[in-house]
Amino acid sequence: MGSKTALVKYTASPDSLRKAIELCRGFEGLKPTDKVLIKPNLVAWDDRFRIAPFGVYTTTRLMEDLIICLKDLGCHQIAIGEGSVQLKKDMGTMQAFAGLGYTTLAKRYGVTLVDFNESKTDKFTFHGDMQLAIAKEALEQDFFINFPVLKTHGQTKISLGLKNLKGCLKLASKKLCHNTSLDLEYCFSFIADFIKPTLTIVDGIYALERGALHFGNAYRKDVIIAATDALAADLIAAKTIGYSGEDIAHFGHYAKRHGKSLAIEDYEIVGENLADHIKPLKWDWAWSADNTGPGVFQKMGITGAALPKYDDSLCSGCSPIANLSNILVLSAFKGQPLPSVEILNGKKMQARPGYAKTVLLGNCMLEANKDNPNIQEAIPVKGCPPKEEDVVSALQAAGLEVNVLAYYGYMKQQGEKYDGKESFEERFFTA
Ligand code: SF4
């Protein structure tokens, strides 16, 4: 055993976080003159729809607590960096910073905010000649604090510290990780080799089932996990939501390269008793056995239209488009079989025989199916990612009477679903 991993119950600010940092000796070696970079998880932002932030974003409360702890030590060169998914122009990292009160924190404490999407990069080679472009600010620091949320993920089962580092990549490298031949988790597991986080703190005030966005269900959990060993923090955090080291492919890739154990017994936990804080959370969305749509399609008796399950080549840009398609197909169902159409997304899906029309969402699908003999009539939706209005038009062209208001209604309902529930407190996301 080497370093210690702290597991602390969140009860007060900033004391609980301070205790976690002390227990794992997280600030050992930190000097007041150090350049400190904090990387939260502000996965994506959308000004058009209210996003229920619980379990989705690193809480503003703990971010302020961390800044207070750093300031108490005399640190004065503190930056917060993130590269949120940019769904539309002017709807990305800076809007997330503003919407979650990080901009107010920055002014209050003299902290710099960095949008990694705008950063210059350094390139790092992995797996032969493949390259990852990483934001310079994430590399040119003395002390990197990785500050993810305790959440599950529909492609990688969990999204903790190692996964959170993907936000430091340039967009083209993020897309490269969603590779058609290499595994997503293998690709992003290399980022920690290049950034080498000094400290990982997992914000578990809320935990998210079926994440990584607010379409899953959040739970109040009130834990903080902290460690100077990036894998140890992730292993213990994953365990609190029911996952062992062997369950998570990217843990395996990282552990193998670094000669580390995946067995939790090989890591020293200080603070709370781990067994008292384990509550398994689901990560996956059920799909029909014949891969024609999410479980709800089968429940409602939807036939005709088919939406195969997303795979790990679907990158964050097209992910909302896949979700939009699901809701739109649901909106078209009036109790009768839907027109024969298959709707494909990601980079490697292949059209199956038997459908009169095939909607190809995004440039990757167009390319992957350009010579597919199973396609009777292709309806291409160009774009990387395609525009929402083009998706709506394509589904209409396929004969589906979709109602875009149903999508807006769904998004509204998702944003409001925790309203009035006692343990879901907006104060954790305001400065
Ligand atoms: S078309 Fe979609 S899946 Fe392909 S790279 Fe662009 S955003 Fe990603």
Tell me the best of 364, 366, 369, 370 to mutate to test the pocket of ligand 1, counting ligand atoms within 8 Å of each CB and taking the most.
364
Please tell me whether residues 101 and 249 are part of one structural domain.
yes
Q: Residue 92 C-alpha to ligand 1 middle, in angstroms? A: 17
Tell me the best of 155, 344, 363 to mutate to test the pocket of ligand 1, counting ligand atoms within 8 Å of each CB and taking the most.
363
- What is the pLDDT averaged over residues 418-430? 97
Which domain covers residue 318, as residue numbers? Answer: 295-400
State which ligand 1 atom lies nearest to the alpha carbon of 345. 3
Helix (H) or strand (E) holding 300: helix 295-300
pLDDT at 1 over 60: no
Query: Looking at the domain assignment, is residue 76 inside a domain?
Result: yes
Contact 241, 282 (CB under 8 A): no
Please tell me whether residues 380 and 273 are part of one structural domain.
no
Please tell me whether residues 330 and 217 are part of one structural domain.
no
Q: Is 346 in the pocket of ligand 1 (CB under 6 A)?
A: yes
Please tell me whether residues 47 and 117 are part of one structural domain.
yes
Query: Looking at the domain assignment, is residue 405 inside a domain?
Result: no
Query: Looking at the domain assignment, is residue 180 inside a domain?
Result: yes
pLDDT in tens, 42-51: 999 998 899 9
Q: Is 385 in the pocket of ligand 1 (CB under 6 A)?
A: yes
Q: What pLDDT is attached to residue 87?
A: 78
**Among candidate residues 231, 248, 283, the one where a domain is terminated:** 283
Residue 222 makes CB contacts below 8 A (sequence gap 6+) with 9, 10, 11, 204, 205
What is the distance, to the nearest Å, from the Cα of residue 255 to the centroid of all Cα atoms in its chain?
21
Please tell me whether residues 72 and 177 are part of one structural domain.
yes
pLDDT in tens, 133-191: 999 999 999 999 999 999 999 999 999 999 999 999 999 999 999 999 999 999 999 99
Query: Looking at the domain assignment, is residue 430 inside a domain?
Result: no
pTM of this prediction?
0.96
Q: Is 78 in the pocket of ligand 1 (CB under 6 A)?
A: no
Please tell me whether residues 253 and 326 are part of one structural domain.
no
Looking at residue 323, its amino acid is N
User: How many Cβ atoms from other residues are within 10 Å of residue 49's Cβ?
Assistant: 13
- What's the number of domains the chain is made of? 2
Q: Residue 186 C-alpha to ligand 1 middle, in angstroms? A: 19
Contact 292, 333 (CB under 8 A): no
Nearest protein CA to atom 6 of ligand 1, as residue: 384
